[in-house]
C-alpha cells in the first residue's frame, strides 16, 4: 500500500468517529409535546372548548367527516431521543413517542416516531415530520360509537 493511500485511510479512520458523534448530537436533545386523545363521533355535536387550538384542523378534511370532538386525555411530555416517552390511550392501549431529530430547511421541522400498542400488538408504528410548534392528527382506532384521534403538538 502506497504512503498517500495509507495516510488517507488513517485520516478517514480519525474522522469517522467525529462524524458519527456529530450525527448523534444533532439527533440528541428533546422536545416538549402535548398529546391529546380525542373521541371523534359522526353524530352532530360540538368541538370541546379545550380543543380550540385544533378547531381549524378538525374542521377540514379528512377530520371534517366527524362532527363531534371531545377531549378524553391530555398528556404533557418531554420527549427525548434516547428512549420513547409513553402515555395511556383509552382501551388499555399504550402510546410511545420518540424524538428523532431536527430536519433543517427553510424552517425547523421535527421528526418523531409514534407507536400505539395493544399489549404486544402494534396498532400503529409511524414516523412523521411536523413544523416546530405544529400539530399532527391521526385517527382510526375504534372507540365506543366513534374513533380515537391522537393530536400531537411539539416544539423545541
* Distance, CA of 115 to CA of 30 (rounded, Å): 17
CB 124 within 8 A of CB 138: yes
pLDDT of residue 78: 97
Say how many Å lie between the first and final Cα of the chain, rounded. Answer: 49
Report pTM: 0.79
pLDDT of residue 2: 59
- Cis peptide bond upstream of 135, omega within 30: no
pLDDT of residue 124: 94
Rounded mean pLDDT for each run of 10 residues along the chain, 156 residues in total: 51 45 51 98 94 95 94 97 95 96 93 95 95 95 94 97
Amino acid at each position: 500500500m502506497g504512503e498517500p493511500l495509507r495516510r488517507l485511510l488513517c485520516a478517514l479512520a480519525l474522522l469517522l468517529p467525529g462524524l458519527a458523534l456529530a450525527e448523534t448530537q444533532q439527533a440528541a436533545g428533546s422536545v416538549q409535546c402535548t398529546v391529546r386523545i380525542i373521541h371523534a363521533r359522526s353524530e352532530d355535536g360540538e368541538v370541546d372548548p379545550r380543543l380550540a387550538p385544533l378547531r381549524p384542523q378538525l374542521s377540514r378534511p379528512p377530520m371534517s367527516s366527524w362532527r363531534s370532538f371531545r377531549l378524553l386525555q391530555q398528556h404533557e411530555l418531554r420527549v427525548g431521543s434516547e428512549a420513547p416517552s409513553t402515555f395511556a390511550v383509552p382501551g388499555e392501549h399504550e402510546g410511545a413517542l420518540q424524538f428523532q431529530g431536527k430536519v433543517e430547511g427553510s424552517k425547523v421541522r421535527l421528526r418523531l416516531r409514534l407507536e400505539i400498542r395493544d399489549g404486544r400488538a402494534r396498532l400503529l408504528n409511524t414516523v412523521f415530520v411536523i413544523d416546530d410548534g405544529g400539530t399532527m392528527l391521526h385517527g382510526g382506532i375504534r372507540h365506543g360509537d366513534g374513533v380515537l384521534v391522537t393530536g400531537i403538538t411539539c416544539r423545541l
